[in-house]
Structure 1
Amino acid sequence: MTQPFDAAMQAFAPALPLAVGLSGGADSTALLRACALRWPGQVRAIHVHHGLQAAADGFEQHCIALCDALKVPLTVRRLDARHAPGQSPEDAARQARYQALASVALAPSVEGAIQSIALAQHADDQAETLLLALSRGAGVAGLAAMPARWERAGLAWHRPLLQVAGADVRHWLCAQGQAWVEDPTNVDERFTRNRIRARLLPVLDAAFPFFRDTFARSAANAAQAAELLHELAQQDLALVGVPPQIKALQGLSRARQANVLRHWLRLGHHTTPAAAQLGELLDQIQACTTRGHQIRIKVGRGLVVRSGTGLDWSSP
């Protein structure tokens, strides 16, 4: 009987050459080993050294030894992933990691241009992401969790293990006799994701043994809904104009106003309004029936203001 990890890898068909994001943990170690065995000479590894903890040098040494054994070229990128004021440490590290992976993959190389990047998040990670989104009151875009494939920076990005439980990844590694390193921060319950992993997932496993599959279906349904909302927002933005005209906005339902305004702010101004900010803006748009009615509302990192017959954006 084909095991879940083997089945997932058999279904994985990326464009080659392929780069694998390698942290040194069980998941990325398994992914790199499986890819290197399947496509010898077509796989490279990228290790991002965040410099955030004392154990980081040990991760790097494991990655070097693993890649030497597998005869896989390794690039180590060191960076400063400290977070800015108001930014979560996890978000800062994640953004820095993606930027580093893309910059290495796009750099000229004697081995040929990398076509795809594979990341090792699995079904437990997907469930944690969905639970985090629920805890924050996320909309369908957040509930879509992590996509299995997407395009970014001219590269195809893949998460081939999203249908595989973390325990199945480790079972495969043990059967291979392959060692990995454990990140000590993964058991630090000061981080919300770690509390979910330690406290909620075991309870869900006991109560709903197939929760990983059902959560994945919910995330896929949310992703489809988010795609439809994006398409509708594009159509409505063409209708209301850029910047949006107040009269045209008033011709839409409140839900479509909210959808197109989020799209305008995200697309044109790289900001996302809080629910209360967006609600206040929608109330002001509804009440805007005279020429003298002013709108000046803090949204995201700036202000949405009335300018003539439409809305405009003001950034400090």
Structure 2
Amino acid sequence: MTTVRPDPVSAALAAFSPALPLAIGCSGGADSTALLAACASRWPKQVRAVHVHHGLQAAAEDFLRHCQEVCDRLDVPLTVLRVDARAAPGESPEDAARKARYDALDAYARAGGGDAARPVRSLALAHHADDQVETLLLALSRGAGLAGLSAMPARWQRGGIDYHRPLLGVPGAALRACALAYGVGWVEDPSNADERYTRNRIRARLLPALEAAFPQFRTTFARSAAHAAQAQEVLDEVAAADLAAVGVPPAIVALQALSAGRQALVLRRWLRQVHGTTPDAAQLQQLQRQIAACTTRGHRIHLKVGSGFVLREQGVLGWYNSGVLPPAS
């Protein structure tokens, strides 16, 4: 007797139990089109689509037309969010587009998806196993710590809305097969073939080589990312406890009593959580050297850290935005 196994997308959605109604981020590409079709079939009348229109290329209108055609066919309402995704001077075009996209999705989710009577309770994105590998390789190439090596989370919450990536264990090829099985086409983003972008080079050159050398690499890489995420959760708990102990703003003497690793953790958490900035590795090392040397009342600290400056203020550390003049010491 032959055992019929469900396709990878159906198997992934069988383990996915979002709060309904569910919104699907739909770009018009194969991945999000497949996710939209599969979810609309699984939860009829409970699914909506949201398309972020970046307006950065001529094909943008084709993406929108395709999304509308697919949504009409699936009887799914579509919301279009138009954003200004142009990069600021010195900003990566990819980063600018990503930030604009998530800012728009956040606003959409906070507003309940435009339906006060039945507000959106969950939002799903179509990132898959290949995307997860690309993210992990990018993190490795940049010398990232555990937070970066954790790659993309399968679930998180922001603004009271649950965000999901239910397909992180599904290969990209399976999503194309799923879209074809549902009889829906997709639009190819021409920028995906542009190897000036690092992620595209990884997709075009490294993934085929990994497939040949390590056929199970998607599963094993995902396992490593999950281990990193679990370890990062523990470090976050330690950093939270240490920040509560050293105080806000942090007391220099209390910081000096911590090991170098725990001190780095608590400084990062203080800067990120309280001031919304992130130090690079060199800035953090220099700050830690200054903290260690701060054994006399006259020792000054005035260092560029993240988007501002860390200063010594009596027995504690202060942080000032670059555009704000700190008080005279």
With normalisation by structure 2, the TM-score equals 0.94
* Alpha-carbon distance, 1:102 to partner: 2.3
* Alpha-carbon distance, 1:106 to partner: 3.0
Maintained 8 Å contact 2:49/2:79: yes
Residue deviations 1:52-96 (CA, integer Å, cap 9, x gap): 000000000000100000000001111111112222111111111
Secondary structure of the 1:278 match is helix
Secondary structure of the 2:278 match is coil
* Alpha-carbon distance, 1:111 to partner: 5.7
Maintained 8 Å contact 1:106/1:113: no
- Residue aligning to 1:18: 22
- Residue aligning to 1:289: 295
- Residue aligning to 1:217: 223
- Residue aligning to 1:50: 54
Q: 2:306 aligns with which of 300, 303, 314?
A: 300
How many pairs are equivalent? 316
Q: 1:62 aligns with which of 63, 66, 69?
A: 66
- Residue aligning to 1:104: 108
Secondary structure of the 2:156 match is strand
- Residue aligning to 2:91: 87
CA 1:111–1:56 in 2, change beyond 3 Å: closer, same or farther? farther
Mapped partners of 1:92, 1:14: distance in 2: 29
1:40 and 2:44 aligned: yes
What runs of 5+ residues in structure 1 fail to find an aligned partner? Answer: none
Q: 2:203 aligns with which of 197, 216, 222?
A: 197
- Residue aligning to 2:119: 113
Mapped partners of 1:175, 1:117: distance in 2: 24
| AA matched with 1:192 | T
Mapped partners of 1:76, 1:151: distance in 2: 22
Mapped partners of 1:124, 1:96: distance in 2: 23
Q: 2:179 aligns with which of 169, 173, 184?
A: 173
With normalisation by structure 1, the TM-score equals 0.98
Mapping for residues 149-160 of structure 1, pairs under 5 Å = 149-160=155-166
Mapped partners of 2:20, 2:161: distance in 1: 11
- Residue aligning to 1:247: 253
Mapped partners of 1:86, 1:302: distance in 2: 17
1:206 and 2:212 aligned: yes
**What's the RMSD between the two structures over aligned residues?**
1.0
- Residue aligning to 1:126: 132
* Alpha-carbon distance, 1:110 to partner: 5.5
Mapped partners of 1:8, 1:58: distance in 2: 29
Mapped partners of 2:310, 2:72: distance in 1: 55
Secondary structure of the 1:185 match is helix
Mapped partners of 2:8, 2:181: distance in 1: 13
| AA matched with 1:92 | A
Mapped partners of 2:42, 2:10: distance in 1: 11
- Residue aligning to 2:11: 7
* Alpha-carbon distance, 1:174 to partner: 2.0
1:312 and 2:318 aligned: yes
- Residue aligning to 1:77: 81
| AA matched with 1:312 | G
Mapped partners of 1:71, 1:11: distance in 2: 24
* Alpha-carbon distance, 1:104 to partner: 2.1
